[in-house]
C-alpha cells in the first residue's frame, strides 16, 4: 500500500511537525477510505502558533499600512485561483461533495472572500465630529485598531468558504489568526498557508493547528490566554462550551451556530421558482448548509402539487462519484453523521410521518459502497412537537406541512429555538415585506435562497448565533474602535 500523504500544521510561515508526533486519519466520505494522515497539534504547538501570531502582530504586519495589506489579500485571492485545481481536489477528497458544487461555490468563494474584505477595508470611512462643549472647540475622530490574535474555529460543511469568510476580514483589519479547521476537513487550511507564503503574507500572520475539540487543539486554542477574540462556526452546544472558555479573560466571541430554518410558500408565489429554490435549499451539499430549510410551510391550495414537485426534484438527484460531472448528490460528511441523521429518519417513521420519498441510506456500488450515502427525504404528517421538526438534523431532508392563513404560517415558522435564516415565496409585494419583517431570523430570503452579497449582515437570532459578520459588521468584530478627541 502506498504511504499516506500527511496534512501538517502551519505555524509561523512553516509546515510544522507536531511536538507529540500524533496523527489522526482523514477519511474520504464518498468511499469510507483513509486517504491522508493529519498531524494533531499538541498544547505546545498551539502555544507556538499563538506566540507566532503575537510576534507578527507586533512586527511587520502590525506596522503595515492598510492599503498594503489589502494588496496582499488580493494576491491571496489570486493565489487561490492559481491553485484552483489543488483546492478543488483537497475539498472534494475531504467532503465527498460533487466537483460541480465545489468548483462553483466553495473554491470561488474562498477567493472572493479575500477580495471582498480587502475592498471593504479600503472603502470604509471613519467617524468625525466637530465638537463645541462648554466653550471649547475640539475634533473627535475614530481609529480602528486590530483586535489582536484571533482564534478561528471552523466546521466541516463548507470548509474553505467558511474559514476564509472569517480569516479574510480578520487579516484585512490587521489581526493575526490561528485557525482550527474541523478534524473532518483539514486539507484546504494547510494549503492556504502555502498560498499565504507565496503571496508575501509575513510569517506568523496565518497559522493552522489541526485536531479535535475537547481535550485537543480546539480547546487548547480557545482557552489560550494569548487569544484576544474567538470567531466560531459550528453547533450551538459547542458555541456554549467556547463561550465558557472565552469568559476567562472576558474575550469577545462571534458565533454562527445551528439552525432549523423554515420556508414559507404562499399560493401566489411563482411556483417553479419556489420549487427550484426550496429544492436547492433542502438538498444542496446533501443538506449540510446552515442556511438549509428543514421545515417547509406551504399554503394549502398548492400543497399537494408542491410536495409532488419537490419529490420529483429529490428523485432526480444523482448520487455518484464526486468527480463525475453528472453527480448532483454527495455523501454526508461521515458514517457517524449518517448514524445521527438516520436516527431521525427512524424517529420520523415511529412518530407516524408519511415518508413521501427517501427515508434511508443508499446502497452504492463498487468503491462507493463504504461511503456515507443517504437518500434525499421528504416527510409530511408530523406534529410540530416532533423532534424531527424541532431539532437540527443537517441532512438532505425536510418536513412539509400545509397552512391556511398568513398569521398561522408566521407563527409556525417562528416557533423554534433557532433563528438563522428563513425563506419566503410570494408574488405579493406587500406580503413579502410584511412577512419578512415578522419572520424571526437573522436572514430572510424572499423569492431567493443563498444569493449572497458579502457586504450584508450575516448571523442568527436566538440559539443560531451571536453577533453579525459581513461588510462593516465584520470590521466591527475584528477591530477595536478608538475615539480620539483633539482640543483645537
| Residue 47 touching ligand NAD (CB under 6 A) | no
For residue 360, what is its C-alpha cell? 434511508
Footprint on this chain of ligand 6OD (rule: CB under 6 A):
157-158, 162, 165, 289-291, 452, 458
246 vs 242: CA distance, rounded Å: 6
**Distance of closest approach, residue 135 Cβ to ligand NAD, in angstroms:** 51
234 vs 246: CA distance, rounded Å: 16
79 vs 66: CA distance, rounded Å: 20
| Residue 194 touching ligand NAD (CB under 6 A) | no
Among ligand NAD, ligand 6OD, none, the one that 465 touches (CB under a kind-dependent 5 to 8 A) is: ligand NAD
Contact criterion met (CB below 8 Å) for 303 and 267 = no
Contact criterion met (CB below 8 Å) for 187 and 210 = no
Q: Which is nearer to ligand 6OD, 401 or 468 (CB)?
A: 468
Q: Which of 26, 91, 256, 294 binds ligand NAD (CB under 6 A)?
A: 256
Among ligand NAD, ligand 6OD, none, the one that 234 touches (CB under a kind-dependent 5 to 8 A) is: ligand NAD
**Distance of closest approach, residue 202 Cβ to ligand NAD, in angstroms:** 26
The piece of 126-134, 254-262, 308-316, 367-375 that touches ligand NAD (CB under 6 A) is 254-262
Tell which residue, 109, 82, 105, has the closest CA to residue 194: 82
Q: Which is nearer to ligand NAD, 12 or 236 (CB)?
A: 236
| Residue 401 touching ligand NAD (CB under 6 A) | no
Helices (H), 136-294: 159-172, 187-199, 217-223, 236-247, 271-283
Task: Starting at the earlier edge strand, list the strands of the sheet with 33-39.
Answer: 5-7, 33-39, 23-28
**Distance of closest approach, residue 186 Cβ to ligand 6OD, in angstroms:** 18
Question: Of the listed 256, 299, 392, 469, which one is catalytic?
Answer: 256
* Total residues interacting with ligand NAD, rule: CB under 6 A: 32
Q: Which is nearer to ligand 6OD, 117 or 458 (CB)?
A: 458
| Residue 467 touching ligand NAD (CB under 6 A) | no
Among ligand NAD, ligand 6OD, none, the one that 452 touches (CB under a kind-dependent 5 to 8 A) is: ligand 6OD
Active site residue 336: no
Q: Which residue is nearest to ligand 6OD (CB)?
A: 290
77 vs 167: CA distance, rounded Å: 12
**Distance of closest approach, residue 45 Cβ to ligand 6OD, in angstroms:** 28
**Distance of closest approach, residue 233 Cβ to ligand 6OD, in angstroms:** 7
Based on C-alpha coordinates, what's the Rg of the chain? 23
**Distance of closest approach, residue 469 Cβ to ligand 6OD, in angstroms:** 7
Question: Of the listed 173, 176, 290, 397, which one is catalytic?
Answer: 290
| Residue 294 touching ligand NAD (CB under 6 A) | no
Q: Which of 92, 121, 154, 319 binds ligand NAD (CB under 6 A)?
A: 154
Contact criterion met (CB below 8 Å) for 241 and 264 = no
| Residue 183 touching ligand NAD (CB under 6 A) | yes
Q: Which of 81, 235, 268, 480 binds ligand NAD (CB under 6 A)?
A: 235
For residue 274, what is its C-alpha cell? 419556489
The piece of 18-26, 166-174, 218-226, 365-373 that touches ligand NAD (CB under 6 A) is 218-226
Q: Which residue is nearest to ligand NAD (CB)?
A: 213
346 vs 360: CA distance, rounded Å: 8
**Distance of closest approach, residue 475 Cβ to ligand 6OD, in angstroms:** 15
Please enumerate in sequence order all residues whose Cβ is within 8 A of that of 445, keeping only pairs 6 or more positions apart, or say none: 277, 291, 421, 422, 423, 424, 451
CA distances to 282, 355, 393, 408, 451 from 298, rounded to whole Å, are 14, 17, 21, 11, 22
Residues 338-397 that bind ligand NAD (CB under 6 A): 392, 394
Contact criterion met (CB below 8 Å) for 425 and 274 = yes
Active site residue 154: no
Q: Which is nearer to ligand NAD, 275 or 454 (CB)?
A: 454
CA distances to 9, 16, 254, 323 from 225, rounded to whole Å, are 20, 22, 17, 43
Can you state the angle between helices 471-478 and 159-172, rounded to 10 degrees? 70
For residue 316, what is its C-alpha cell? 432526480
Please enumerate in sequence order all residues whose Cβ is within 8 A of that of 247, keeping only pairs 6 or more positions apart, or say none: none
Q: Which residues are catalytic?
A: 256, 290
Residues forming contacts to ligand NAD in the complex (CB under 6 A) are 153-157, 162, 180, 182-183, 212-214, 218-219, 222, 233-235, 238, 241-242, 256-259, 290, 392, 394, 420, 460, 464-465
Amino acid at each position: 500500500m502506498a504511504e499516506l500523504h500527511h496534512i501538517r500544521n502551519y505555524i509561523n510561515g512553516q509546515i510544522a511537525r507536531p511536538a507529540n508526533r500524533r496523527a489522526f486519519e482523514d477519511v474520504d466520505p464518498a468511499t469510507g477510505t483513509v486517504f491522508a494522515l493529519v498531524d494533531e497539534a499538541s498544547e505546545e504547538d498551539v502555544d507556538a502558533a499563538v506566540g507566532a501570531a503575537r510576534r507578527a502582530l507586533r512586527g511587520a504586519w502590525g506596522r503595515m499600512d492598510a492599503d498594503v495589506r489589502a494588496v496582499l489579500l488580493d494576491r491571496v485571492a489570486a493565489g487561490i485561483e492559481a491553485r484552483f485545481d489543488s483546492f478543488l481536489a483537497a475539498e472534494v477528497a475531504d467532503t465527498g461533495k460533487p466537483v460541480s458544487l465545489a468548483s462553483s461555490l466553495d473554491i470561488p468563494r474562498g477567493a472572493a472572500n479575500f477580495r471582498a474584505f480587502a475592498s471593504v477595508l479600503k472603502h470604509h470611512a471613519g467617524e468625525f465630529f466637530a465638537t463645541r462643549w462648554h466653550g471649547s472647540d475640539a475634533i473627535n475622530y475614530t481609529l480602528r485598531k486590530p483586535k489582536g490574535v484571533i482564534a478561528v474555529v471552523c466546521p466541516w460543511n463548507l470548509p474553505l468558504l467558511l474559514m476564509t469568510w472569517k480569516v479574510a476580514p480578520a487579516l484585512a483589519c490587521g489581526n493575526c489568526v490561528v485557525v482550527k479547521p474541523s478534524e473532518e476537513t483539514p486539507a484546504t487550511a494547510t494549503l492556504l498557508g502555502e498560498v499565504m507564503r507565496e503571496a508575501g503574507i509575513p510569517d506568523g500572520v496565518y497559522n493552522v493547528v489541526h485536531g479535535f475539540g475537547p481535550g485537543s487543539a480546539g480547546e487548547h486554542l480557545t482557552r489560550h490566554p494569548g487569544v484576544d477574540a474567538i470567531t466560531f462556526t459550528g453547533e450551538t452546544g459547542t458555541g456554549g462550551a467556547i463561550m465558557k472558555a472565552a469568559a476567562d479573560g472576558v474575550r469577545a466571541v462571534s458565533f454562527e451556530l445551528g439552525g432549523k430554518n423554515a420556508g414559507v410558500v404562499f399560493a401566489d408565489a411563482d411556483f417553479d421558482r419556489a420549487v427550484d429554490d426550496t429544492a436547492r435549499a433542502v438538498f444542496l451539499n446533501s443538506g449540510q448548509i446552515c442556511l438549509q430549510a428543514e421545515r417547509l410551510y406551504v399554503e394549502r391550495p398548492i400543497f399537494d402539487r408542491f410536495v409532488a414537485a419537490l419529490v420529483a426534484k429529490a428523485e432526480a438527484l444523482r448520487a455518484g462519484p464526486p468527480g463525475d460531472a453528472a453527480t448532483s448528490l454527495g455523501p454526508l460528511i461521515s458514517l457517524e453523521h449518517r448514524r445521527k441523521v438516520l436516527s431521525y429518519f427512524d424517529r420520523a417513521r415511529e412518530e407516524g410521518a408519511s415518508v413521501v420519498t427517501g427515508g434511508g441510506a443508499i446502497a452504492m456500488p463498487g468503491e462507493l459502497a463504504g461511503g456515507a450515502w443517504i437518500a434525499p427525504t421528504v416527510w409530511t404528517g408530523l406534529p410540530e412537537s416532533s423532534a424531527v421538526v424541532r431539532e437540527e438534523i443537517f441532512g438532505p431532508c425536510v418536513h412539509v406541512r400545509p397552512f391556511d392563513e398568513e398569521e398561522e404560517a408566521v407563527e409556525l415558522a417562528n416557533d423554534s429555538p433557532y433563528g438563522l435564516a428563513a425563506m419566503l415565496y410570494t408574488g405579493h409585494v406587500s406580503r413579502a415585506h410584511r412577512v419578512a419583517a415578522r419572520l424571526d431570523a437573522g436572514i430572510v430570503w424572499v423569492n431567493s435562497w443563498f444569493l449572497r452579497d458579502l457586504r450584508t449582515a450575516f448571523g442568527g437570532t436566538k440559539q443560531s448565533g451571536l453577533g453579525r459578520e459581513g461588510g462593516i459588521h465584520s470590521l466591527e468584530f475584528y477591530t477595536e474602535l478608538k475615539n480620539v478627541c483633539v482640543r483645537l
